[in-house]
Structures are given as C-alpha cells and as structure tokens.
Structure 1
Amino acid sequence: MRIAVAAIDGTFDSGFAAIMDVLGAANALSAGDGQLTSVTVVGAGTEVRTGNGLVLTTVPVTELESDVDLVVLPAVGFRTPEQVVAAMRDPAHAWVLDLATSAAATGTALAAACSGAFFLAEAGVLDGRRATTSWWLGPAFRQRYPSVELEDSRTLVDEDHRTTAGAAFAHIDLALWIVRQRSLDLADLVARYLLIGDRPSQAAFALPTQLARADPLMTAFERWARAHLADPPPLTHAARALGVSTRTLQRTAQTVLGKSPLDFIQDIRLDEATHLLRTTTLSADAIAGRVGYRNAGTLRELVRRRRGVTLEALRNG
C-alpha cells in the first residue's frame, strides 16, 4: 500500500508520530512478507516544522507520484476551533485541499484524524457522508459543514473511501485501521506489541461545558441545567428563563451539539455523577438524587448505556 501523509507547519507531533510508528511496527512485524506499506511524507516544499518545533523532511507535493493508494491528513496542533479554521483557510495550505480534491477525483482513498477532517470537509469530499472529528471541534464542524453527517461520539468512521478519526490520539486507531485493510492478524499483533487498547467511542471523554461554549445560548442552557439537576423543571421553563422559545432551544441544541436539549441534560447528569463518584464518598442513591434521578437503578442504566461500565468501575476509574 502506497501512502502519502500530508504535513503542514504546526502538524500535531504525537498524531503524526503515532501514524508513522504504527505503520513502521506493522512493516517490522509483517513476518517476512515484505514491506506492508510505503509511506511518503508530503509538504508544500522540502521541510515543515511541527507544532513543537521539530523539522520534518518532506517531498514537495508537486513531485508526489500519482499512483498512491491512500492520502492521510494528520491533525494540526492548534488549541481552538478558530485556529483550525484559520490554518485551513491559509493560502499556504491550499495545496492540501487540492491534494484531497484530486485524490477523490481519481478514486484514491482519503483519511484524516482530529482537525485534519476539516481539510477533507473544506475540500468538499465529505459532503453527504458520515464523518467524525475531535469531540471538542464538533460544534464548529457542524456549523461550517452542514452537508456532512457528523458522528463526533465515534472514534472512527469509514464510509466510501473516506475514513476519519476523532481526537488527537485517535491517530493510533486510524493507523491501525490502515494496517487492518491488509491483515486483521497483523493489526492485532501490532496492537498487542504497542499496548493499544480499544476506544470505540469518544463520548466518555467529552466535556459538556466545553461543547456548550460554542454558542451563547448553549452556554446559558448548560448553566441553567446544572443549577436544576436535582429537580429539573420542564424544558419550557428553561426556554422562558433564557428568553427564547422552546423550539429555538431545541433547534439550537440540534444544530450546535447534534442532539436534543434533553439528551444534553443527560450528558450533564452523567458528567456531574462521574465527578461526585470520583471525588466524594456519597452513596450511589445519594448521587442519583443530586443529578435528578429517584434511585441509583436509573443512574446505573445511564452509565451502562453511555459508558459501557458499572457505577463501581466508573468510581474506581
């Protein structure tokens, strides 16, 4: 498999290295079957500087062979959605969008992780398809690319030769996916050698407060919901308190967060319950009451459904 990894100034060091290390390990462990992958690091010129200042030698994109099988876009190491969008719109990075567009036109597979998915979306190659990105970039992604069906609770989404991965260390999952296309056994062997665990969902890591910051109404709603967790009034009360209609509240939540206000309240309840489990000695029933449930049974079911673990495991985690 011939792979081109696109790198720009500010490339996220660990994400880039994770891809290279996993693919390198796969080649080393391929049991004499020859090189599994051939990787070319591509840039605008002959070198780029990573987010932490490391200098990478790159092959200019104008010299890239046309017969690559996969183009991979690692994340850029920025801290805010605004910085990600600015990097993507920078004329110096237009070659990345052109590379994605031309690859899609020739049927070449495309993959991206974290903020790298923004480049694929900006190039239009994710339109009408499912994709994921880092959970904290979800609101900005939804707002900018409404034609993409974002599933930002997922760690990895693969559809129609477009593969996207979630938050920064989901680069590992993306690299393993690449190996898996050639050999399931080899992918399992690499995972064992590198002690890579299974992360099918980003949901356990998402912070409701961080997501709500993407929109002033959601910020206010998140504060209102936390203030009323123990005895939540109807949603109409929240809308009235925030000075909007219930329909506006529902529409904004769906647009910004990709979920209903009630689903978001469930996220907040779980976030608060997790905090109380890990920082207090309160009983499960007491914690359930504090987050708006009559008994621990309902809370246990929420934890099992959303996290796939028991209350005890969550407390000890």
Structure 2
Amino acid sequence: MQIAIVALEGSLLSAISGLADMFWICNQASRNPPPGVVTALAGSPGPLFHTRIVSADAQPLRDTQGRWIPVDGAFDAETAYDAILIAGMALGPDGQPPHSAAHAQAARWLSSRHQTGVLIGGACAGTFVLGQAGLLDRRRCTTTWWLHHVFKQRFPAACHVWGSALEEQDGIITTGGPLSWVDLALHVIRRLAGPELARLAADISVADSLPLPQLLYAPRGFVNTANPLLLQAEQIIRHAHPGMTAEALAQALHLSERTLHRRLKQLTGESPKAFITRVRIETACVLLATPGISIKQVAGQCGYGDETAFRRAFIQAMCLTPVDYRRRIQSHQQ
C-alpha cells in the first residue's frame, strides 16, 4: 500500500518523520512480531506499507525550526496512492495556519486525488489544507481545540465536531493536536490493514489504540467564549436544578425552541440537549479535580438527579469513568 506524506514549508519534521516511522513499525511487526505475540500477520513476505514524502516541486524544504525536510517526490497524478496524509505546521505571524501558493497547490492535489477514491487525512493545522480544498464542506471533521474558532470562521460550511479527537466521513479523516499524527496513522492502518495490525502497532509504540477526546485537554467552556448567547446559556445550565430541558433553556433565553436549536447548530454544531450535556460534563470535570467531593455530589451539582445517568453520560463524552478521570487529573497535579 502506498502512503504519501505531504511536506510544506513550516511543516513539523517530527510529524512527517513520525508518520513514516509508524508505517515502518507496522511493516516490522507484520513480518516479525515481538516474542510471545501470536498474530496471523507473522511472516508477511514483504512490507505492507511504502511511504513517500512529497512536496510541490520535489525539492527538500525547511521545517518550522529551519531544519531540512527530505523529500522523495512531487505531487503527481500518476502514482497510485492508497492514502495521502498532511500533518501539523507552524502558524503564521497572525497566529493562524498559513495560506500560501504551495498550500493552495497541495489543496488542489488532495481534492483531485480524493475524487479517485484515495483516503485523505489531516492532523492539527493540516486540517486547514483539507478545508481549503473544500473536502470538509458538509462533512464531520475536527481540528486542534485551540484552533476551533479560527477554523469555524475560515470554513463555515464544515461540520466541525467540537472536542472530538478523530472524525472520518466519506474517506476524509481529521484529527486534532500537534501529536495527533499518531492517531491519524493508527486509524489509516486500521482502515487499510485491519484492527489487529493497528492494535499491534499501538502496543509496540506504547500509544492508545483509540484516541481520547480533546475535551480532556481543552479549558472548560472554551468553545462557549465565542458568543454571548453561548456564555449566557452556559451560566443558566450551571445554576439550573436537575431536569433542565431544551424547552426550559429556550424559555430562560427568551427564545423559541426552534430558534435555540438553529442558533446552537450554527454556533457549536450541537442540539440543545447535546449542549446541555456538554456543559454539565465540563462542570463535572472541574468538580472532579476538587478534593473531598464524592461522585454522587458531583452528579447532583451538575444537574443529574441520578448518579447512574451521570456516569453513563460522562463515559460517553470523555471515554473514561469519573473515577478514572479523577485519577488522571490527580496524577497530572502531582
């Protein structure tokens, strides 16, 4: 299987090299798994993946720290790739991902290759190139949490999923975070070679085989700072009694339910019910970092009259139980 890794001026050398290394690890694991590992992949006759680093003109270029990025070839229509991946890059002086002639050329190439059925993936600021190509329009996607507001402004037609670690729709994969190329690589391996090899590659790399949501890392309430309506709605939910409904929230905001649904979809991509749940879970994350408060007390203060319902909602949002989340936070605070 042929994998192209896109290099642009200012790309992160670690991400480009890391992507290539992850597929190399897969090749090693498929041919010679670690001792004690029983797998149907053992003894593969040759490498499963072949990676090429490509640039607009096939010339090496500088990374964000001025180091040379080696390049194997140029963007072309002749090579039959199974996947084309673009990782993070340095932000411009304005704090936004760059938008140059080379980025535009990469965007056009990605768009044309996707039309032939090639899997396209972007990590961190690389997702902006996918957006520039029009590949995210009306598709679920994600990007790094701290680029969320810029992303929404630049690509209003994209269906951005706040806090998600990885999204795929119609063969377009996006991940968030400068190191999320790990998640991107493992997902592509899973798609092209199956879950067993992806799991083995994750185990060898000592990485999570399935990414955790960015909600674990983003400041609580970050997405709501973009609009006064969101901030007002957040405060209402935080101080509401258990049983807050979309109807009650709309009334408190002096809006119709239909208007509230439309505004939230425009601003966050969420339904009122999903918005209420997210605010409650974000509140729970803050409370769980407070010593001495029980899970039952956290549930009650977040608007859940039933502790079981709270645990279920928390696990669905955070991919961790409240107890596991508390342990994780406590270990980071030490």
2:253 pairs with 1:239? yes
The 5 A counterparts of 1:93-104 are: 93-104=103-114
Q: Per-residue deviation at 1:210?
A: 1.6
What are the ranges of 5 or more consecutive residues in structure 1 without an aligned counterpart?
A: none
Partner of 1:171: 181
In the alignment, the residues of structure 2 paired with residue 229 and residue 280 of structure 1 have an alpha-carbon distance, to the nearest angstrom, of 23
Partner of 1:83: 96
- Shift in CA distance, 18/238, structure 1 to aligned 2, threshold 3 Å: farther
- Shift in CA distance, 229/75, structure 1 to aligned 2, threshold 3 Å: farther
Identity %: 29
Partner of 1:72: 85
In the alignment, the residues of structure 1 paired with residue 320 and residue 107 of structure 2 have an alpha-carbon distance, to the nearest angstrom, of 41
Partner of 2:167: 157
2:47 pairs with 1:35? yes
- Shift in CA distance, 60/219, structure 1 to aligned 2, threshold 3 Å: farther
Q: Deviations over 1:72-125 (max 9, x none)?
A: 1112243999602xx1x3234221112112313444332222332222232123
**Alignment partner of 1:283 out of 282, 287, 294:** 294
Which is further off, 59-68 or 157-166?
59-68
**Alignment partner of 1:199 out of 180, 185, 210:** 210
TM-align CA RMSD:
3.4
Partner of 2:3: 3
- Shift in CA distance, 229/94, structure 1 to aligned 2, threshold 3 Å: same
- Shift in CA distance, 308/61, structure 1 to aligned 2, threshold 3 Å: closer
Normalised TM-score (structure 2)? 0.77
In the alignment, the residues of structure 1 paired with residue 93 and residue 290 of structure 2 have an alpha-carbon distance, to the nearest angstrom, of 29
Normalised TM-score (structure 1)? 0.80
In the alignment, the residues of structure 1 paired with residue 65 and residue 233 of structure 2 have an alpha-carbon distance, to the nearest angstrom, of 37
Contact 2:85–2:120 (Cα < 8 Å) also in 1: yes
Partner of 2:71: 58
In the alignment, the residues of structure 2 paired with residue 248 and residue 208 of structure 1 have an alpha-carbon distance, to the nearest angstrom, of 25
- Shift in CA distance, 62/113, structure 1 to aligned 2, threshold 3 Å: closer
Partner of 2:193: 182
Partner of 1:263: 274
Q: Give the aligned residue type for 2:71.
A: T
Q: Give the aligned residue type for 2:253.
A: A
Which is further off, 177-186 or 18-27?
177-186
